[in-house]
Amino acid sequence: MIPVETVVTEKIHHIRGHKVILDRDLAELYEVETGQLKRAVRRNIERFPADFMFVLSKEENDSLRSQFGTFKRGQHSKYPPMAFTEQGIAMLSSVLNSQRAIQVNITIMRTFVQMRELLTTNKKFARKLNDIEKRLAEHDESFQIVFDAIKRLLTDDEKPKRKISF
C-alpha cells in the first residue's frame, strides 16, 4: 500500500512559483466530481484570492497536458483547471463540508509541512557543505604555503652553497 502522503506529494505541481494542487486532483482526493468542487469555489469566490487559487492560462494548461500525454476525448474538462495553493486548500475545508474533506485537508497540510521540513533540512545540509568547502579552501592555501616552503628548502639544497671564509 502506498502511503497517503506519497499520493498527495505526487499531485503537487510547481506553477508560477507556487506549490499547487489542481482541481481535478483535489476532486479525486475528496471523492467528488471536479464540477462540484469548482461550483463550490465559484459560489464562495471571495474566499479564494489570487494567492489562494488561480486559473491556469492556456499555455500552462497545454504544458501540463503534454506532460501527462494524450487524453481521451471527453475525459477531461475543456475549461482550464484551477490551481490551489496550500492556503487555498485549507480554505476548501470551509467550503466542502464533509468528513472526507476534513480528513483529506489534514493529510494535505501534513504533506506540505513535511515538504517544508525536508527543504529546510536540505538547506541546512547545503550550508554545512559550503562551510566545509570554505574551510578546506583555507587549508588548501595553508598547505600550499607549506609546500612552497618545502620546495624552496629542497631547491636551496640543490644550489651550490657559497663558502663563507674568514
CB count, 10 Å around CB of 9? Answer: 14
* Per-residue pLDDT tens over the stretch 22-51: 999 999 988 889 999 999 999 999 999 999
Residue 54's SS3 state is: strand
CA-CA distance, 111 to 155, in Å (whole number)? 64
| pLDDT < 50 stretches in the chain | 1-2, 70-74
- The CATH number that domain 4-122 falls under is 3.10.260
Q: Domain limits of the chain?
A: 4-122
User: So what's the pLDDT on residue 61?
Assistant: 83
Identify whether the C-beta of residue 110 lies closer than 8 Å to the C-beta of residue 97: no
**E strands present in 56-144:** 82-84
List, in sequence order, the alpha helices (H) in 31-98: 34-43, 58-68, 86-95
Radius of gyration of the chain (CA): 30
| This prediction's pTM | 0.61
Which residues are within 8 A (CB) of 16 and not within 5 positions of it... i.e. 6 or more apart? Answer: 54, 60, 83
Give, as one character, the DSSP assignment of residue 48: -
Residue 75's SS3 state is: coil
CA-CA distance, 113 to 117, in Å (whole number)? 6
